[in-house]
A and B are shown apart, each in its own frame.
Chain A
Amino acid sequence: MKKTFLMLVLLVCVTALAMGQAVTLKLFFYSPELIDQYNDMAKQYLAETGVTLDMTVLQNDYVTVLRAKLNSGDIPDVFMSSAYADNDTYKDYAYDLTNEDFMKKLEPTALTGVTVNGKVTGYPFLVQSHSFIYNKKIFAEAGITALPRTIKEYEAVCQKLQAKGIQPFATGFKEWWVLPQTAWQVLAPIKDSYSGDYAKFVDRLNSGSLKFANIKEMSNVFDVLDLIKKYGGPKPLESDFNDQCSLLATGKAAMIHQGNWAEDSIRKTTPNIDIGFLLGPTGNAADKAGIMFDSNQTIRVAKDGKNLKAALAWLKWLTTSEYGKKWIPDKIKQLSPIMGAKASTAELAQATVALLAKKTPSYSWYYQRFPNGTEQGLGIILQGYCAGQTNRQQTLDALDADYTKIVNASK
């Protein structure tokens, strides 16, 4: 009796000791559409190194919960954010990765978004592209052979589609983030007025010397939004991301404005769908139409995390191991920032690579340089314009007012 009791106590102690020794990394990610791929990677890492990855994945309230966590001291070892403006937001929390050896294995172009004054504070996770995605079969059936590049050409395509009884666009206007990504693509050539440097453009906006109301190219933005709404079906403001993916997948809509991250959701509905990227219209100049291509989704290591060494070890594994190098191209099916990574088999990823090879204009996600806190505000103002609540002048004034408010609030 006494012996069994003693053995039991010993067993409990040993297990407790063993559990205390095993490292658990806390990861806080977004993009719940990748949950299967995250879990697969965690399983592989556990098998190879014995380190458990405790992952929490959110989407809509991600930023809110991240701030709450960072504030309350419940700091995740690894978290995600955007690039550009977020470098400044999280500068007190992100570990400086400049001197880590595995960073040399990443494409230099992918590092532009996370480098500030020579210091690299983030690890580019995915390289993504967004523009108008179209259903190739529907276009063929409607007899559209020349892909549109100007606003007039898009209108002609929409009329052809509507004549065939197909809804040309699934707008996605119910989501506050679809509107900015659609709108800012139209404005992308603005860098030509600033010697090709978006930083100069955003600096002028931040200093107040440039206002949205004074940018004449904004009229193109409104023209495109009007076009999408006009040909966006009977309830354009009720369409969300799921609506966009399912309508495109089932052939009920011909075009959506989304990124290559949407391909997985689309293919879950229709596995053998044939989709491609259309060049986004910027006005009436066909040669300026292009795609938005950048690495924005960034992984950051917490400077004050309890398992800093383990977090860096995991990032090194992600960059150098066999599984790590194939994870993004094969499992996530998107473009990887790792140098020499194989091309993904995903159709939109390959379309992106093909378009870049043909020297199509590719614009960086410059709107991520706007001050932190403007994304949702500006998106909601654009949504109000699409709902008919404000006219163009009122919308421009509201954009300026919101932008100034955020800039002043952070001084």
Chain B
Amino acid sequence: MRGYKNKRLRRAMEFLGMTAPAVIAILVFVEIPFLMSVMYSFTRWNGLDKVPKWIGLANYRELLTADRDLALAVVFTLIFTVITVVVTNVLALLLAVILDSDIRGRNVLRAAFYIPNIISLIIIGYVWRFIFSRGFDSFSALTHIGLFQLSWLGDGKLAFLSVVLVSVWQSIGFYMVIYIAGLQTVPREQLEAAVIDGAGAVGRFFRITLPLIMPSITVCVFYSLSNALKTFDVIFSLTFGGPGTATTSIALDIYRTAFSDNRFGYGTAKSVILFLLILTVTVFQLTGFKRREVEA
């Protein structure tokens, strides 16, 4: 009996020893700073004073009742998220279906759609900023198409579309790759059986392919959802949240609160709320989608 207990203990120690480096790294670089942030969210600090001042729940009270900018940012972020997630995933799936079939140059096309994902979002923001203002000026001078004469970054509603466009353009390649991998796991026999039974292409897609690639869809929607809720880079470089606050996301509002208003404690409280928001939304999404997953 004792020999058995010792063996279990030894195995447990081995297990701990093997995982310790990873656990320690995550503790030090993720968990502990996160807990420190939660501590700071109960303080007031302007970034320069030597000691932050403890103020309890005052930050949370303010952000839930008295912050109009945050409310606008939440509305913007939610609308932006819904539109971006739906558009990105639908287009990525469509592209994946097209580029999984036997068309010419499909590898080149796959690479072409994936490349925007490799470039840093900040650089993409600046490049598109140039395209929208100077590039479009040249296009409109050459072609006189009205579309190019509109102020894509200066008008509140158009700026929203610009941000969605650039965001979708950059991320679509990544999800397309995941969907292509998912499509390739669909067993051919099932599809051939469906053809024999007389199912059309659309029917085959919605009744066989789609349920079987549900795991890929779960992953892609989860990832795009949490990324969209955290959007910062593309908005920072493309419009800086402007004009005014028309394209300010929650993350950008937190950045402004901390680094331009110099309210670090309050900004941290907002980030805790953002964390809880993302956690809730993604947990609901994952449980909902996992239920629809089907084994082949």
Q: List the interface of chain A (C-beta within 8 A of B).
A: 63-64, 67, 70-71, 89-90, 92-93, 173-174, 176, 234-238, 243, 372-373, 376-377, 380-381, 383-390, 401, 405-406, 409-410
A381 to B69, CA, bound (A): 11
- Contact size class for B? 20 to 34
Task: Check B155 for interface membership: any CB of A closer than 8 A.
Answer: yes
* Contact partners of A376 in chain B: CB under 8 A: 256, 260-261
Do the beta carbons of B154 and A235 come within 8 Å of each other? Answer: yes
Instruction: Give 27 A-B contacts (CB < 8 Å), ordered by A residue.
Output: A63-B259, A92-B48, A92-B50, A174-B154, A174-B242, A235-B133, A235-B151, A235-B154, A236-B151, A236-B154, A237-B155, A238-B151, A373-B46, A373-B261, A376-B256, A376-B260, A377-B256, A383-B242, A384-B244, A384-B245, A385-B244, A389-B246, A390-B244, A406-B261, A409-B46, A409-B261, A410-B46
By a CB distance below 8 angstroms, the chain A residues around B242 are: 174, 176, 237, 380, 383, 387
Most buried by A among B46, B133, B256, B262: B262
Is the pair B266, A409 in contact by a Cβ cutoff of 8 Å? yes
Contacts A67-B48, A235-B151, A235-B154 given; does A386 touch B263 at CB 8 Å:
no
User: CA–CA, A410 to B47, complex, Å?
Assistant: 11
State which of B50, B245, B263 has its C-beta within 8 Å of the C-beta of A389: B245
Interface core residue of B132, B241, B243, B259 (most chain A CB under 10 Å): B243
* Apart from A409-B46, A409-B263: 10 A-B pairs, beta carbons within 8 A: A90-B48, A174-B243, A235-B154, A237-B242, A238-B153, A238-B154, A373-B261, A376-B260, A387-B246, A389-B156
On chain A, the residues within 8 Å of B132 by CB distance are 238
Contact with B244, one of A89, A236, A389 (Cβ below 8 angstroms): A389
* Contact between chains at B47 and A67 (CB < 8 Å): yes
Which residues of A sit under 8 angstroms from B155, Cβ to Cβ? 237, 387
Identify the closest chain A residue to B136 (Cβ): A235
Residues B262 and A377 in contact, CB atoms below 8 Å apart: no
Q: How far is the CB of A30 from chain B (nearest CB, A)?
A: 15
Query: CB-CB contacts of B191-220 with A at 8 A, as 1s and 0s?
Result: 000000000000000000000000000000
Q: Per-residue CB proximity of B34-70 to A under 8 Å, as 1/0?
A: 0000000000101111100000000000000000100
Instruction: Summarize B's interface: helix, strand, loop or mixed.
Output: loop
CB-CB under 8 A from A238, the residues of chain B are 132-133, 151, 153-154
Q: Pick the 5 closest A-B CB pairs, nearest first.
A: A384-B244, A237-B154, A387-B243, A376-B260, A235-B151
**Among B48, B256, B263, contact of A70 (Cβ-Cβ < 8 Å):** B48
Contact between A380 and B245 (Cβ–Cβ < 8 Å)? Answer: yes
Is B282's beta carbon under 8 Å from chain A?
no
In the complex, whether B76 has a CB less than 8 A from a CB of chain A is no
Asked whether B289 is an interface residue with its Cβ less than 8 Å from the other chain, the reply is no
Q: List A contacts of B260 (CB < 8 A).
A: 373, 376-377
| CB atoms of B244 and A383 under 8 A apart | yes
Q: Which of B241, B243, B244, B262 contacts A372 (CB under 8 A)?
A: B262
* Chain B contacts with A in 141-162, Cβ cutoff 8 A: 149, 151, 153-156
Interface flag for B113 (CB, 8 Å)? no
- The answer to whether A387 and B156 touch (CB under 8 A), given A174-B242, A373-B260, A380-B245, is yes
Contact (Cβ within 8 A) B156 A388? yes
Q: How far is the CB of A137 from chain B (nearest CB, A)?
A: 24
Q: Do A387 and B133 touch (CB < 8 A)?
A: no
Tell me if B240 counts as interface (CB < 8 A to partner A): yes
A401 to B44, CA, bound (A): 19
Given contacts A235-B151, A238-B153, A409-B263, contact A389 B48 (CB under 8 A): no
Q: How far is the CB of A59 from chain B (nearest CB, A)?
A: 14
Q: Which residue, A385, A386, A387, has most C-beta atoms of chain B within 10 A?
A: A387
**Beta-carbon nearest neighbor of B47 in chain A:** A67
Knowing A70-B48, A92-B50, A409-B44 are in contact, say whether A386-B261 is a contact too (CB < 8 A).
Answer: no
Complex: how many Å from CA A380 to CA B247?
A: 12
Q: How far is the CA of A390 from the CA of B48 in the complex (A)?
A: 34
B291: shortest Cβ distance to chain A, in Å? 42
| Residues on the B chain within 8 Å of A70, using CB | 48
Residue of A nearest to B72 (CB): A389
* A387 touching B244, Cβ below 8 Å: yes
Which residues on the A side are within 8 Å of B245 (C-beta)? 380, 384, 389
With a cutoff of 8 Å between Cβ atoms, the chain B residues found around residue A89 in the complex are 48
Question: Which residue of chain A lies nearest to B256 when distances are taken between CB atoms in the complex?
Answer: A376
* Chain B residues within 8 Å of A174, by CB: 153-154, 240, 242-243
| Minimal beta-carbon separation of B268 from chain A (angstroms) | 14
Q: Are B44 and A64 in contact (CB under 8 A)?
A: no
Bound CA span A52–B156, Å: 49
Which residues of chain A are within 8 angstroms of B48 by Cβ–Cβ distance?
Answer: 67, 70-71, 89-90, 92-93
A64 and B259 contacting across the interface, CB-CB below 8 Å: yes
Q: How far is the CA of A64 from the CA of B259 in the complex (A)?
A: 6
> CA–CA, A238 to B153, complex, Å?
6
Bound complex: CA A234 to CA B47 (Å):
41
Task: Give bound CA distance, A104 to B132, whole Å.
Answer: 52
> Do A373 and B262 contact each other (CB < 8 Å), given the known contacts A380-B242, A383-B244?
yes
With the chains together, A158 CA to B256 CA distance in Å? 36
Q: How far is the CB of A235 from chain B (nearest CB, A)?
A: 4
A404 CB to closest chain B CB (Å) equals 11
**Bound state CA distance, A401 and B256, in angstroms?**
16
Given contacts A92-B50, A409-B263, contact A389 B151 (CB under 8 A): no
Q: Which residue of B47, B133, B259, B261 contacts A71 across the interface (Cβ within 8 Å)?
A: B47
Chain B nearest CB from A155 CB (Å) reads 22
Contact (Cβ within 8 A) B240 A384? no
By a CB distance below 8 angstroms, the chain B residues around A387 are 154-156, 242-244, 246
B151 near A234 with CB under 8 A, answer: yes
Residues of chain A lying within 8 A (CB to CB) of residue B244: 380-381, 383-387, 389-390
Shortest distance from the beta carbon of B172 to any chain A beta carbon, whole Å: 26
In the assembly, what is the distance between CA of A393 and CA of B244, in Å? 16
Give the most central of B68, B156, B260: most A CB within 10 Å.
Answer: B260
Point out which of B48, B154, B244, B262 has the most chain A C-beta atoms below 10 A from its C-beta.
B244
A64 proximity list for chain B (CB < 8 A): 259
Q: Is the CB of A176 within 8 A of B240?
A: yes
Shortest beta-carbon distance from B69 to chain A in Å: 9
Tell me whether B261 and A377 are in contact (CB under 8 A). Answer: yes
Question: Which residue of chain B lies nearest to A383 when distances are taken between CB atoms in the complex?
Answer: B244
Nearest CB of A to B159, in Å:
9
The answer to whether B259 touches A386, judged by C-beta atoms less than 8 angstroms apart, is: no
Closest CB of chain B to A174's CB: distance in Å?
7
